[in-house]
Amino acid sequence: MTEISNLVLSIADNKQLLGLRYAEWATRAPSLEADIAAAAMGLDDLGHSRVLYGCLEPLGEDPRGADRESDPASLRALPYFDEPWTSWAQFVAANAILDTAFTVMIEACVNGSVEVLQHRLRKMLMEERYHFLHGRSWLRSGIEKGPLDEAWKEAMEWFGPAAGDTAALHKSGALSMGPAELRSRLEERLDTKAPKLDLDWKRWDPRRRRSRPGAIDDLTFGMLRGLEEKRFAPATAQKQG
């Protein structure tokens, strides 16, 4: 179950970071409705990450090590989430392409042969329907090419190489789709083709499912570990803790 556990942890870490980045835009989106949608989608994805982390134990293997407390590069999120987004176009590209890529992978898990994933992940697909509508609508309104190309590239890398782990999981039946099917499904859902991509699999890190080095910013990493909360906690509470 190592391969499927690693994949589930990757989905969980990415959804956690996606949720945090969405939430950062809850007061900065172009309209009040978009603010509220950003907050709601952030909460959804943070919730999804909790469910996914909870699947690791029943899967029989939890790949999380002690280094997650000290090394931001131990998290398995994509480079797209390393730094807070500075433009609405980055939000839209993540919402339309990466969020949908994660949903397509969850579809592959729900329709695969691993029972715990079949049952626990199904509800996410219903909630993700609204993320998809939101992302697709904003995507159709037109955004800059840079964030779009980056999101497509990272989505394709995240699906994995033609003969990699997701292909093996598809062959074994654990996933209902392999890399080629995942890509086709993503293109079908977004009603568009991926741009021409130059993927360098030699530099690809199969553990983090990315080729670019780096990690999330210190502030976000501190927040994930609860350090930011402790900084503002009363002195008495710190002594009790």
Partner 1 sequence: MTEGATKYKRVSGEAVEYEVFARKTRAEPLHQVGSVVAPDDDLAAAYARATYDEERWVEMTIVRKDHVIALWSPGES
- Selected range binding partner 1 among 117-125, 138-146, 186-194, 231-239, rule: CB under 8 A: 138-146
65, 66, 86, 234: which one binds partner 1 (CB under 8 A): 86
- The region that residue 226 occupies, defined by phi over 0 for left and psi between -120 and 50 for alpha, beta otherwise, is left
- Selected range binding partner 1 among 82-90, 171-179, 210-218, 223-231, rule: CB under 8 A: 82-90
The minimum distance between CB 85 and partner 1, in angstroms, equals 9
Identify the bridge partners of residue 210 per DSSP, sorted by sequence position.
205
73, 88, 225, 228: which one binds partner 1 (CB under 8 A): 88
37, 156, 177, 216: which one binds partner 1 (CB under 8 A): 37
57, 130, 193, 218: which one binds partner 1 (CB under 8 A): 130
The minimum distance between CB 186 and partner 1, in angstroms, equals 18
DSSP for 24-66 reads HTTTTSSSHHHHHHHHHHHHHHHHHHHHHHHHHHHHT-----G
Instruction: Please give the radius of gyration of the chain, using alpha carbons only, rounded to the nearest integer.
Output: 18
CA 199/CA 201 separation, integer angstroms? 6
Q: Which amino acid would we find at residue 104? A: V
Q: State the binding string over 158-197 for partner 1 (x if CB under 8 A, else -).
A: ----------------------------------------
Q: How far is CA 153 from the centre of its chain?
A: 14
The tokens describing 94, both together, are 């993540």
Total length of the chain: 241
140, 193, 207, 230: which one binds partner 1 (CB under 8 A): 140
DSSP for 163-185 reads TSHHHHHHHHTSSS--HHHHHHH
**Contact between 97 and partner 1 per CB under 8 A:** no
For partner 1, the closer of residues 44 and 154 by Cβ is: 44
| Residues forming the site for partner 1 (CB under 8 A) | 27-31, 33-34, 36-37, 39-41, 86-88, 130-131, 133-134, 136-138, 140-142
